[in-house]
Amino acid sequence: MNKQQGFTLLSVMILTTMTSIIVLSSLRDNFIQERLTGNYQKKMNARLVSEKGIFDTHKRVLAELASNPVTTLEQLINDTLGENNYITGRAQTDDMSYATRLGVNSDGLLELSSDGKRFEGANNTVALFRLRKGGAASTFGSAIIGCEGVGLGASGRIDSYNSDEGDYDASTASANSGVTTIHHDSDINLTGAADVWGSIAATGSINLGGSAKIYGDAHANHNIVIDAGPGSPDLPEGFDSDITVGGDVLAIGNVELIQNQVGGVIRTMGDLYLGSGSSTKVRNQDNNGLDVMYRGELTHRGNALPFQYYQNDVPYTDAMFNQSPNVPSVPEVDPNNLPEDHDYQDPATNCDPIGISTVVDEFKDATASDLLLTRGQTVYEVTPRGGQLVSGWESWMGEEPAALSTYSETLPSGELVNMLKVKDFTVNGGGFKVSGGDVYMLVDGDFTIGTSGTTVFEIEAGSSLTIYVTGKTTIKKPVISEQGMSDGGVPVFSIYSSYTGKDGVVIDATGSLYAAIYAPETDAKVAASGGLMGSIRAKTVSLSGDTGIHYDTRLGEVGNVTTCCGTTSLEFVGWRYL
């Protein structure tokens, strides 16, 4: 009995010891778990407060960007930090804080690096942003932009060059020009012999007649008709004279290849019609898959399908060609039905991205008077500081033109400039000279360069003239100037017209002219026999006679020189947690 009682006591002691060990182990595990949970909580809180540092700093950066949209990344960082090395702050409790550094990484991205802390918990969060500069897309991004239509009935060439490399020379011209429309359902018609050394894109239809040829693609939101005959051999190197469209033919509507050849392929979301001439064909020179693809029906002239409409012995009528090619649409806008998120400053989808009427209204001055230079041998000179008659005036000529003072005005780009202001401005028999730098001028009336033999309109080397016009612009004699940019980086001669009537810009000069023309609310008609170097953006554009347009690609490279189109913004790239 005593032995049994001793065993029972021993068993109880062993069980008690084991239970104590388990309890102590559990307490230790709970303590460790509690510490781990606490550390994790501190780590999470540190991450949250570090993210708060990113968001708070991002708001400050955006505020600085809004006040100076033409800034650089380095300047934006300096403006945000001020005299501090960090942006610091706290959460709702004093034991949660952040310190955010700003910098530019090796990829040129804005880096916001935020260190968050709560007690022993620490976390680093990095957010990367790309600075998207407004105005990167130029209002002069193509040779011809006819918002509501383009008519090319001229015989001159539409090609390109870079004025940084010298004046235009037909023998060294490049094929980087372009012709496009913007408003919904606007057509491009080529009826003359004006070869386009580039691509054309229409929000409506494209009609190729006459003997015109296109070096690049023909892209339309509606139909494309190719019915152009033989033309000039004056084409880029490697371009066969039998080809009408050197690139691809892309249409959301129907395509008619009535005569001549396509160098690329045909893709149409509608029907395809093929002419029967033996020389009419689709070359597919780059071996870009199927020669043709059409979602609708294929029809052709004659009973039997001509031999040239086969690919690897398979006729174009075969089902393999009859499939949807998913042709992308040309960017367009319906001014009467704009989407809620429409960017009114995007040159690709707005005819008037700078709002020219509003801009010009801000410049108007009721006290301005006419500047009429109609007397031979007289010279009127303007500079960024003012304008005055400098020679040639005699008493019998009557009252001499008044001197012009400048007014401080802000351009759409935000740049502050001196501006001369007049009502009607006519040079027809007199001399007009621009010198001393970049000159800005408001013509609150008509601007005319007449045909008188003694008329001289000259822009000195290194200088430029930018004219804002409310009335009609008529140029019947060339402007003497260099080509390209002034020493200040401004196009040598620019015309911004707010005129809303018909035919607001007419250029009918004998000789060459360099100009960047912006006339989104009126028609531009060009018949300059020597050609126009530069670019045209207008409501409609029509070319006739011997006119050629020689696009200066420098205009596209510099973006908007005197305008600021598109909003400068920060584009989020990604997170990084450390």
Domain over 36-136+568-577 is classified CATH 2.60.40: no
pLDDT of residue 398 exceeding 60: yes
Asked whether 530 and 513 are in contact (CB, 8 A), the reply is: yes
Alpha carbons 230 and 211: distance in angstroms, whole number? 6
Q: Inform me whether the pLDDT recorded for 166 exceeds 90.
A: yes
Q: Which residues pair with 340 in a beta bridge?
A: none
Which positions ≥6 away from 3 have C-beta within 8 Å?
A: none
What is the per-residue pLDDT for 545?
86
Residue type, 114: S
Extract the runs of DSSP E, i.e. beta strands, from 203-296. Answer: 206-208, 218-220, 224-226, 243-245, 249-251, 255-257, 261-262, 266-268, 272-274, 281-282, 292-294
Alpha carbon distance 208, 25 (integer Å): 90
| Distance separating alpha carbons of residues 431 and 317, to the nearest angstrom | 67
Is the overall model pTM greater than 0.85, yes or no?
A: no
pLDDT at 560 over 50: no
- Whose CA is closest to 164, among 531, 469, 532, 553? 553
| Burial tier of 84 (Cβ tally within 10 Å: 0-12, 13-18, 19+) | exposed
Q: Give the model's pLDDT for residue 511.
A: 81
pLDDT at residue 123 tops 50: yes
Please say if the pLDDT value at position 1 is more than 70.
Answer: no
Inter-residue contact 553 to 161 (CB < 8 Å): yes
d(CA 555, CA 562): 11
> In the chain, where are the structural domains located?
36-136+568-577, 205-329, 356-557
Statement: residue 133 has pLDDT above 70: no
Mean pLDDT of the chain: 88
Query: What integer is the mean pLDDT of 18-42?
Result: 67
| Residue 559's pLDDT band (cuts 50, 70, 90) | very low
Q: How far apart are CA 394 and CA 273, in angstroms?
A: 71
Inter-residue contact 165 to 127 (CB < 8 Å) = no
User: Is it the case that residue 390 has pLDDT exceeding 60?
Assistant: yes
For residue 407, what are the CA distances in angstroms to 214, 318, 439, 468? Answer: 46, 70, 12, 14
- CB neighbourhood size of 93 (10 A): 10
What digits encode the pLDDT tens for the residues 520-533? Answer: 999 999 987 778 99
* Percent share of the chain, pLDDT over 90: 56
∠ at Cα 470 (468, 472), nearest 5°? 105
Q: Is 127 exposed, middle or buried (0-12, 13-18, 19+ CB in 10 A)?
A: buried
Half-sphere exposure in the Cβ direction for 437 (13 Å, CA): 10
User: Is residue 78 helix, strand or coil?
Assistant: helix
Q: What percent of the chain has pLDDT over 70?
A: 90
Contact 53, 99 (CB under 8 A): yes
Identify whether the C-beta of residue 514 lies closer than 8 Å to the C-beta of residue 533: yes
- List the Cα angle 521/522/528 in 5-degree steps: 140
Residues 6+ apart with CB under 8 A from 11: none
**What's the average model confidence in pLDDT over 411-429?**
94
Q: Are 49 and 42 in contact (CB under 8 A)?
A: no
Measured in whole angstroms, how far is the alpha carbon of residue 420 from the centre of its chain? Answer: 29
